[in-house]
Chains A and B, each alone.
Chain A
Amino acid sequence: MPPITGRNTPEPYNLRNFSVLLVEDSIYMQTLVSEMLRVFGVGDILTCANAKEATDLLTIAQARTTSRYINKIDILLTDWLMPNGNGKDLLNWVRTHDNDDIRFLPIIVISGFTTEKLTNDTRDLGANEILVKPISGKLLASRICSVIDSPRAFIDAPGFFGPDRRRQYFAFTGKDRRSAVPNLVEKNI
């Protein structure tokens, strides 16, 4: 039977033009995840071992005018627990940065911790997705597709900057007690 290739079957994503920064201190995991990204067809894969190296690289990469040799990074994949600057430090740095190309960057946190606190912490620090280890091809692919397919609006509120923490919207029938109407800003990001 011939393969189904009708108009309604979307083609698989081609990530050739994507540049992904992977921040992972374990050489073993760094090698594995970067190889998986390569198999997925990601065109440009950069790796760092800690938050400090990542911030240096992001500063150069996102200020595209200063370097012809590094592409602008599209997705940041970071481990949570690392010596010399961990995932929390990196999220804080990214989401409070002045440069829009940095602070709006999609971030996927990879972590071996599976606690509710970690999920809440990463969400409240502005991560787009969390990928809990052990990693698999399907899990990594689903998180990448999620940041591509569902770019949630960014919320800038006192004490928080990051993707909207609500993934579902329900009609609210109670009294509206919000003190301010959110200011809707369209952004070319």
Chain B
Amino acid sequence: MTDEPNNENPAINVYSHRQNPLKNKLGIRVPTNEDGHLDPENIKEADKLIAKMCLGCEDNIAQQLEKIADLWTDMQKAENTDIRNEKAQEIFTCTHEIKDIAALCGYTLAAHFAESLRDYISETALNLKNQRIIIQAHIDAMNAVHKGKLKEDGGPIADELKKMVKIAINKYR
């Protein structure tokens, strides 16, 4: 390694903004060099929207769980690897959606299992029996969480469910 500069001289351009176009769009009464803010009342209103959306959260999770159950059945029947992968991708999308919705609405446990299944399904080949057991364990756990309406950490039942999934992963991975 040398301290001498190399002679290739790669071109590096630094584009500075002649003006701030977004700030210009705000209007002339806004001080140009100060950080601004949105109306705190609007932020509160946005949080109320989240709370309102969360009222329908359980139904939405139920729909996604039904979809996952159907996809999982189809995936197990599929003999073609391409079809299995396609179904796995769809399950991945559903679990990702559950994770987003559940985390947003305070269903931490449901989000935990959804994330766990999402990560598992994305990193593994899906044609082995052992791996199918792990996926089934996740689905059972998510159904139990949903039927028990377990919010936040879920207490002792949550611990049992987490233990069940962990055992399945450790034993069959």
Asked if A65 is an interface residue, CB under 8 A from chain B, the answer is no
Interfacial chain A residues near B38, Cβ < 8 Å: 12-13, 15, 40-41, 141, 144-145
Q: Does B50 contact A (CB under 8 A)?
A: yes
Interface string of A67-90 (1 = CB under 8 A from B): 000000011000001010000000
- Beta-carbon contact of B36 and A151 below 8 Å: no
Task: Report whether B16 and A153 are in contact in the complex, using a CB–CB cutoff of 8 Å.
Answer: yes
Cα-based distance from A78 to B98 in the complex (angstroms): 18
Stretch of A28-36, A56-64, A91-99, A117-125 at the chain-chain interface: A28-36
In the bound assembly, the distance between CA atoms of A133 and B103 in angstroms comes to 8
B96→A179 contact, CB < 8 A: no
Q: Which residue of A lies closest to B21 (CB)?
A: A189
- CA A17 – CA B6 in complex, angstroms? 48
Which residues in chain B, 32-90, are within 8 Å of chain A measured between CB atoms? 34-40, 42-47, 49-50, 53, 60, 89
Contact call B13/A182, Cβ cutoff below 8 A: yes
Contact among A104, A136, A153, A180 for B9, CB-based, below 8 A: A180
- Answer whether residue B170 sits at the interface, using C-beta atoms and an 8 A cutoff: no
Q: Which of the four size classes fits the interface of chain B? A: 35 or more
Give B89-108 as 1s and 0s: 1 = Cβ < 8 Å from A's Cβ atoms: 10001001101110110000
Given contacts A112-B103, A145-B37, A182-B13, 16 further A-B contacts (CB under 8 A): A11-B30, A13-B30, A13-B36, A40-B43, A112-B100, A135-B104, A137-B45, A140-B46, A141-B42, A141-B46, A145-B38, A147-B22, A156-B11, A156-B12, A179-B8, A189-B15
Given A11-B30, A133-B103, A28-B43 contact (CB < 8 Å)? no
Q: Which of B7, B17, B100 contacts A189 (CB 8 A)?
A: B17
Contacts of A147 in B (CB 8 A): 22
Contact assessment for B36 and A148 in the assembled complex, using a CB-CB cutoff below 8 Å = yes
* B39 contact set on A, CB distance < 8 A: 12, 40-41
B23 at the interface (CB under 8 A from A): yes
Q: Which residues of A contact B23 (CB under 8 A)?
A: 148-149
**Would you call A6 an interface residue if the criterion is a C-beta within 8 Å of the partner chain's C-beta atoms?**
no
Decide yes or no: A179 and B9 within 8 Å by CB, A39-B46, A187-B15 being known contacts: yes
Please state if B15 and A137 are interface contacts (CB–CB under 8 Å): no
Evaluate contact between A81 and B17: CB separation under 8 angstroms. no
A31 proximity list for chain B (CB < 8 A): 53
- Bound-state Cα–Cα, A186 to B101, Å: 43
| Interchain CB contact under 8 A, B10 and A179 | yes
**Complex: A10 Cα to B32 Cα, angstroms:** 10
Q: Assess the B103–A186 pair: CB atoms within 8 A.
A: no
Closest 9 CB pairs of A and B: A137-B46, A12-B39, A137-B43, A154-B15, A156-B13, A134-B104, A179-B5, A36-B46, A137-B47
